[in-house]
Amino acid sequence: MNEDEKLHDEAEEIRNQTAEDSPELAEHDRVAELERLLEEAKAKALYAAAEAQNTRRRLEADKEQASSYAAAGFARDMLAIKDNLERALAAVNDELRADKTASQFLAGIEATARELETVFARHGISRIKSIGEALDPHRHQAMIEIPTDQSAPGTIVEEMQAGYMMKDRLLRPALVGVAKKPE
Q: Are 130 and 174 in contact (CB under 8 A)?
A: yes
Q: What is the pLDDT of residues 34-64, one digit of tens each?
A: 999 999 999 999 999 999 999 999 999 888 8
- Domains in the chain, please, with CATH? 3-66 (no CATH), 72-180 (2.30.22.10)
**pLDDT tens-place string over residues 88-121:** 888 888 888 888 888 888 999 899 999 999 999 9
- Would you state the pLDDT for residue 67? 74
15, 16, 34, 45, 133 from 37: Cα distances, Å: 21, 20, 5, 12, 65
Determine which helix (DSSP H) or strand (DSSP E) holds 29, and give its type and residue range. helix 23-68
Q: pLDDT (tens digit, 9 = 90+) per residue, 115-158?
A: 999 999 998 999 999 999 999 999 999 999 999 989 999 999 99
Q: How far apart are CA 17 and CA 1, in angstroms?
A: 22
First-to-last alpha carbon distance for the chain, in angstroms, is: 84
The CB density around residue 105, as the number of other CB atoms within 10 Å, is 13
DSSP H or E run through 103? helix 100-122
